Every structure is written in structure tokens, then in C-alpha cells.
């Protein structure tokens, strides 16, 4: 299995099984700590990450109309700016790493 094909969610799931006490992040923005920990792990397996992160709250940043149906993301003004910054970094990394992806796919 190639490292670059492993989804971040799968890595987080593996971490939760290995370090169950660290997987229990609680609080309004408890996932922020999990992101910081996962960023360190991803760096060890040479996965590029972005510095910015966005902490979206289920009750404040999403509009849910029907149970079981996908909702709409409605971030607050502050979170919307952070979201745009993060996506901008992601696009920049994607463009910078495109030649490496093409080389790897050709091999």
C-alpha cells in the first residue's frame, strides 16, 4: 500500500486504536488538538499538510434541514475567512506538487 493513497481518516482511525486516550478530544473545538497531532504523524510519512485549519461547529456553521440529509456549510464571517485561507494554501500546495504526482503516476 502506498502512503499517499491512505486517507487521513484511516490514519486517524489507526491512531485512535493505538492511542485511545488521545483520541478522546472533547469540547467545542476539541478536534483542533486532533488535527495538530495528525499533522505531526502525516509529516513523518512525508505527506504535505497546510498550516491553516478551520474549526467549524456543528451547531453554528452548518444548516441542517432534514435528519439524514447533507446540510449546507454556513460558516461565520471569521471562519469563512479562515476557510478561504486554508483552501488557498491547499490549492498552492496542489499546484506545487503536481509535477511530483505526474512523475509518480508515470512510473
Domain boundary among 13, 29, 49: 49
Q: Where in the sequence is the domain holding 7, given as residue range(s)?
A: 1-49
| Regions of the chain short of the pLDDT cut 70 | 1-30
pLDDT value, residue 23: 44
For the chain, the domain total comes to 2
Cβ 8 vs Cβ 38: under 8 Å: yes
- Domain edge (last residue) among 49, 64, 83: 49
Are residues 42 and 71 both part of a single domain?
Answer: no
Q: How many CB atoms lie within 10 A of CB 7?
A: 8
> Is residue 18 domain-shared with residue 43, that is, in the same domain?
yes
- Mark whether 17 and 42 lie in a shared domain: yes
Q: Which three cell numbers stand for residue 101?
A: 504526482
Name the β-bridge partners of 63: 72
Q: pLDDT at position 17, please?
A: 61
Grid coordinates given for 81? 475567512
Q: Are residues 45 and 62 in the same domain?
A: no
Cα–Cα distance for residue pair 33/37, rounded to 1 Å:
6
| pLDDT value of residue 59 | 76
Three cell numbers, residue 56: 467549524
Q: Can you give the pLDDT at residue 30? A: 57
pLDDT at 66: 82
Domain end call among 9, 32, 49: 49
Question: Can you give the pLDDT at residue 91?
Answer: 92
Q: Which cell numbers hold the place of 71? A: 446540510
Instruction: Please write the tens of the pLDDT for every residue from 28-45.
Output: 555 778 888 888 998 899
Q: Are residues 69 and 41 part of one domain?
A: no
**103 and 68, same structural domain?**
yes
- Is residue 39 located within the same domain as residue 69? no
Q: Can you give the pLDDT at residue 26?
A: 46
Q: How many CB atoms lie within 10 A of CB 64?
A: 12
Q: What is the DSSP letter of 85?
A: H
Amino acid at each position: 500500500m502506498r502512503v499517499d493513497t491512505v486517507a487521513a481518516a484511516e490514519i486517524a482511525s489507526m491512531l485512535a486504536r493505538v492511542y485511545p486516550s488521545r483520541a478522546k478530544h472533547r469540547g467545542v473545538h476539541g478536534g483542533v488538538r486532533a488535527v495538530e497531532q495528525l499533522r505531526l504523524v502525516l509529516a513523518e510519512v512525508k505527506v504535505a499538510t497546510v498550516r491553516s485549519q478551520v474549526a467549524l461547529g456543528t451547531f453554528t456553521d452548518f444548516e441542517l434541514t432534514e435528519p439524514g440529509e447533507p446540510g449546507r456549510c454556513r460558516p461565520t464571517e471569521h471562519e469563512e475567512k479562515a476557510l478561504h485561507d486554508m483552501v488557498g494554501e491547499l490549492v498552492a500546495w496542489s499546484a506545487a506538487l503536481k509535477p511530483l504526482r505526474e512523475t509518480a503516476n508515470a512510473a
